[in-house]
Amino acid sequence: MPELRPESIVVSAGRPEGRGAPLSYPPVFTSTYRHVDGENRYLRNEGSDSVAALEAALGALDGGAATVYASGLAAVSAVIGTLAVGSVVVVPDAAYSGTVALCAEQQELGRLTLRRVDITDTAAVIAALDGATLLWLETMTNPLLGVPDLPVLIEAARSAGARVAVDATFTTALNVRPLDLGADAVMHSTTKYVAGHSDLVQGVLITRDTDLCEAFQAARRLGGALPGAMDCFLALRGLRTLSVRLERAEANAAELARRLAAHPRVTRVRYPGLADDPFHERATRQFAGYGAMISFEVAGAAEDADRVCRSVRLITNATSLGGVESLIERRAMHAGDRELGVPETLLRFSVGIEHVEDLWTDLSQALATEW
């Protein structure tokens, strides 16, 4: 059979094979296995069929070998844990707050030296790579939705002798595969688009480097970050519909971003699918789609943005993204994002798969509340 396209991989990969086999591996709820011929199998060390099936599917989708973790932050920790004391890490100056906080803690402990830089500024990133051990990138920065020039930065890092890890949670492997661009590792919070139903916490690392894969597995084993059987089962079930969910959510996001940009109470819309977005050209060149995340700023002060969040009815005011339901929140309410310079009235909007007209009706009435 010829190589499958991503839309087929999400449906077919990681299934049992053979006559009479079930279509999916059932979750096996055990921590302990009987000894067989001297084999001392233990769940934390070897995992289970539930773990292996999910890893097979996610690895096939991104084009590498996958290691799943009990959370996205555990996956980030595994990457940082592979670095020697004294390593220099180039990180985004505004990114997922958990990544930034983890790296900052390691610097305070004297393990790492951080160079924080705007990863959308190609020249600044390249200038920061001298002597660096690791470059950490996001395919879209969280929550400002900036798009770095991935091929250029990955090539520059490799030329400088630095490893490259890319958080591709916002774009998913359906829109870009960083390993194809030369990255050493790609990370996803599978909590988000992969699982897609806001019912689990999980992360994954994928790499084509055998030694790095072994290091990631060792980090999971020694750190005790193996995900549970039910979480793996749910994540794999969610993966099966990723393509159709993302297609619908992206179509909704494109239309809502266009309408928000014309709304009198919206002062700025950040969405790379808009033709006048500063990162539109990069996103068009690098991605198969623009994603389903919108960040927009409303007129007024923080309390006005909070009022919008309190006034939505179909959309949910909550922290997370990538689920079938639409979520919105004011990001600067979180100290970590506020300290990174996120505007006080910026609302991060994860667009779901509801009917676009119902979403717009809800946004419109929330924006029309008395200020």
DSSP string spanning 136-172? EEESS-TTT-----HHHHHHHHHHTT-EEEEE-TTTH
Which tokens go with 236?
């794999």
- The mean per-residue pLDDT over the stretch 115-123 comes to 97
Query: In a 10 Å sphere around its CB, with 0-12 CB exposed, 13-18 middle and 19+ buried, how is residue 256 labelled?
Result: buried
Q: Could you count the other beta carbons within 10 Å of the beta carbon of residue 360?
A: 15
Residue 5, CA distances (Å) to 9, 90, 188 in order: 6, 33, 20
Which residues are catalytically annotated? 44, 96, 167, 192
Would you place residue 92 in the very low, low, confident or very high pLDDT band (cuts 50, 70, 90)? very high
Dist. CA 94–CA 89, nearest whole Å: 15
- The mean per-residue pLDDT over the stretch 327-338 comes to 94
Tens-digit pLDDT profile for residues 137-160 = 999 999 999 999 999 999 999 999
Q: Report the pLDDT value the prediction gives residue 42, as an integer from 0 to 100.
A: 67
Q: Report the pLDDT value the prediction gives residue 37, as an integer from 0 to 100.
A: 79
Would you place residue 33 in the very low, low, confident or very high pLDDT band (cuts 50, 70, 90)? confident
Would you place residue 370 in the very low, low, confident or very high pLDDT band (cuts 50, 70, 90)? low
Dist. CA 73–CA 137, nearest whole Å: 15
Q: Report the pLDDT value the prediction gives residue 80, as an integer from 0 to 100.
A: 96
Q: Report the pLDDT value the prediction gives residue 244, as an integer from 0 to 100.
A: 98
Element (H, E) at 305: helix 302-311
Contacts with 344 (C-beta within 8 Å, 6 or more apart), sequence order: 301, 302, 305, 330, 332, 338
Tens-digit pLDDT profile for residues 294-325 = 999 999 999 999 999 999 999 999 999 999 99
0.85 exceeded by pTM? yes
Pick the closest to residue 269 from 368, 371, 354, 348 (CA basis): 348
- The mean per-residue pLDDT over the stretch 52-77 comes to 97
Q: Report the pLDDT value the prediction gives residue 34, as an integer from 0 to 100.
A: 82
Is the predicted pLDDT of residue 268 greater than 70, yes or no? yes
Q: Report the pLDDT value the prediction gives residue 48, as an integer from 0 to 100.
A: 86
Q: Could you count the other beta carbons within 10 Å of the beta carbon of residue 29?
A: 10
Would you place residue 361 in the very low, low, confident or very high pLDDT band (cuts 50, 70, 90)? very high
In degrees rounded to 5, what are phi and psi of residue 184?
-80, -35
Would you place residue 31 in the very low, low, confident or very high pLDDT band (cuts 50, 70, 90)? confident
Q: Which percentage of the chain shows pLDDT scores above 90? A: 89
Domains of the chain: 6-239 (3.40.640.10), 243-367 (3.90.1150.10)
- The mean per-residue pLDDT over the stretch 227-254 comes to 97
Average per-residue pLDDT for the chain: 95
